[in-house]
Amino acid sequence: MTALTAIRREDLAPAFNQDLNGILHLLTCGSVDDGKSTLIGRLLWDASDLYDDQRETINRSSNAATGGAHPDFSLLLDGLVAEREQGITIDIAWRYFDTATRRFVVIDSPGHEQYTRNMASGASHADVAIMLVDARHGVKRQTRRHAAILDIVGVKRVVLAVNKMDLADWSQDKFRAIEADFRELTLRFGFREAIAIPVSAVGGDNVARRSEHMPWYTGPHLLEHLERIPPRDITPRGSFRLPVQTVLRDGLDFRGLAGTVASGCISVGDRVTDALSGQSAHVLRIATMDRDLEIAKQGQAVALQLDTDIDVARGAILSAADAPPTVAAHLEARAVWLWETPFDPNAGYFLRTATDLAPISTLSITSLLDLETLAVQPADKASVNDIANIWITLGRPVAVDTFVDNQGTGAFLIIDAVTGASVAGGVITTARAGAVDDASAFRLTRELLSRGLCRDLADSDEDRREFQRRASEAALLLHAAGIQVKIEL
């Protein structure tokens, strides 16, 4: 086995991508008890080719839960024991099904605020989102939060499924009022398409067949609308970007810079640049596991062999020589705070981009989105599930794009420096080029060390000396990694 076996079978990529062209990645989101799992379960029940034994199992399992009135369709989605016991979705559930004209990948995300981070993670994979609301309650705070997150991660098509219309007396007036609220909500964000559909997931009304109870609704039922949505556009767009995942060696003569093409395409002979170092070289070979390619396109995992061994490692972004990303140390961004621990201006954070990890010198909250009014309010704090505008100063420059220009290299996670937890996720709205000044150096503070590396030390003379020793060692390691460090003890 050679090092190149680490690369996926991208020689099959053209055919694979062509197959993907017919697949729709579908996210469901909404508040607890709005009926997400039931809606998708009903869709699977009515429109997919479930095995007979699956249907019999669901029918048998459903008698106790529903009194035999109807199958408990949510059992097709809620896979965890804890989910079934609590009647809520906790983790993301993935299901696949085919209709006569399309293949769907369903991403069922949690509705409870506690699991918003899972919803955001699922949304990042979606082509279209179905937002559910209960027809008796309409658009709620969690609906607005989910809409804002969908906008942040770049989902452009949304469907509002106004569920439980049977419990709202099939009322056209109630649906129209919710539809008007939804229209006003979507106008605040950058969605390309938004539609509201009245449904009853339990009865299957307007899910995979038209409802006899709502003759006043003349639009498409849910499945009909989903089958009309254009497939994912896999045409390579934008300038070439390859975030380097690793450097592969195979024998004495092969050194390949491996990664997945985030945007654009590259051909043998093209000139590429590492934006951070400014070094350039020509592509000598595009390798995959089984054979070489003449052209690598967006979405393909490859290893590029260059005609000159420029000093490039994981974290670099190879780009078209005439259109490099911005080398930035100052970023403006929108983010969702995902962690239970609120933002702490004195805590240490790292910025994780596609393949890079850079220290954050200063992170500040500039404003929050008010989920009641959708107005942006000045703020300097953020708690779990808050949607914030933030300002980031890095300890060293990184190669990035704005999210508008390139989704693959314009998104990030913020990592807690002590625990390694992902505390926030967001997108870059402005990247300012420029070198790091001394004020931007990573601050290795006593508080940061006391919470992590030196948490076992007390106040004795011996422990104070050990504290200093560990601080110096940490600073040396960061310095060796190319990070400017300022020790503040």
What are the residue boundaries of the structural domains of the chain, listed by start? 23-228, 241-320, 326-440, 442-488
The residues that bridge with 27 in the sheet, in sequence order, are: 107, 129
For residues 15 and 322, give the distance between their C-alpha atoms in angstroms, rounded to a whole number: 30
3-state secondary structure of 352: strand
Instruction: Of 114, 116, 32, 113, give the one whose Cα is nearest residue 78.
Output: 32
pLDDT at residue 2 greater than cutoff 60: no
Count of positions (residues) in the chain: 489
User: For 89-103, what is each residue's pLDDT tens digit?
Assistant: 556 677 888 888 888
Compute the average pLDDT of residues 165-181. 96
For residues 30 and 322, give the distance between their C-alpha atoms in angstroms, rounded to a whole number: 44
For residues 116 and 371, give the distance between their C-alpha atoms in angstroms, rounded to a whole number: 14
pLDDT at residue 382 greater than cutoff 90: yes
* pLDDT given at position 419: 82
Query: Domain spanning 241-320 has what CATH number?
Result: 2.40.30.10
3-state secondary structure of 46: helix
* pLDDT given at position 18: 45
* pLDDT given at position 254: 86
pLDDT band at 204 (very low <50, low <70, confident <90, very high): very high
Give Rg (Cα) of the chain.
Answer: 25
Long-range residue pairs from 110-113, CB within 8 A, at least 24 positions apart, any chain: 111/29, 111/30, 111/31, 111/32, 111/33, 111/34, 111/36, 111/142, 112/32, 112/88, 113/142, 113/145, 113/384, 113/385
Decide if 241-320 and 326-440 have a common fold: yes
**Torsion angle in degrees (nearest 10) through CA of 450, 451, 454, 456:** 110
Phi and psi at 354, nearest 5°, equal -55, -50
User: For 440-489, what is each residue's pLDDT tens digit?
Assistant: 677 778 888 888 888 898 888 888 888 888 887 887 777 666 677 777 77
| Average pLDDT score, the chain | 84
For residues 393 and 421, give the distance between their C-alpha atoms in angstroms, rounded to a whole number: 20
User: For 251-306, what is each residue's pLDDT tens digit?
Assistant: 778 899 999 999 999 999 999 999 988 999 999 999 998 889 999 999 899 999 99
User: For 30-62, what is each residue's pLDDT tens digit?
Assistant: 887 888 888 988 888 888 777 787 788 777 766
The residues that bridge with 162 in the sheet, in sequence order, are: 133, 198
pLDDT at residue 242 greater than cutoff 50: yes
CATH superfamily membership of 23-228: P-loop containing nucleotide triphosphate hydrolases (3.40.50.300)
For residues 183 and 37, give the distance between their C-alpha atoms in angstroms, rounded to a whole number: 24
* pLDDT given at position 4: 38
* pLDDT given at position 66: 56
Q: What single string gives the DSSP state of each residue in 282-332?
A: EEEEEE-SS-EESEEETT-EEEEEESS-----TT-EEEETTSPPEEEEEEE
Does the domain at residues 326-440 carry the CATH identifier 2.40.30.10? Answer: yes
Which amino acid belongs to residue 305?
A: Q
User: For 139-163, what is each residue's pLDDT tens digit?
Assistant: 999 899 999 999 998 899 999 999 9
pLDDT at residue 437 greater than cutoff 90: no
CB neighbours (10 Å) of residue 94? 14
Pairing type for strands 357-369 and 387-400 reads: antiparallel
Tokens at residue 395, please?
Answer: 């300890």
Beta-strand ranges (E) seen in 313-386 are 317-320, 326-337, 349-352, 357-369, 376-378
Q: Could you tell me which residue, 14 or 394, shows the higher pLDDT?
A: 394
* pLDDT given at position 429: 95
* pLDDT given at position 53: 79
Compute the average pLDDT of residues 108-112. 70
Tokens at residue 160, please?
Answer: 């509002």
Q: Where are the alpha helices (DSSP H) in 129-196?
A: 141-153, 172-186
Instruction: Of 107, 191, 104, give the one whose Cα is nearest residue 153.
Output: 191
User: For 265-278, what is each residue's pLDDT tens digit?
Assistant: 999 999 999 998 89
Contact 203, 39 (CB under 8 A): no
| Side-by-side strand order, sheet with 128-134 | 93-98, 103-108, 23-30, 128-134, 157-163, 193-198
DSSP element (H, E) containing 448: helix 446-451
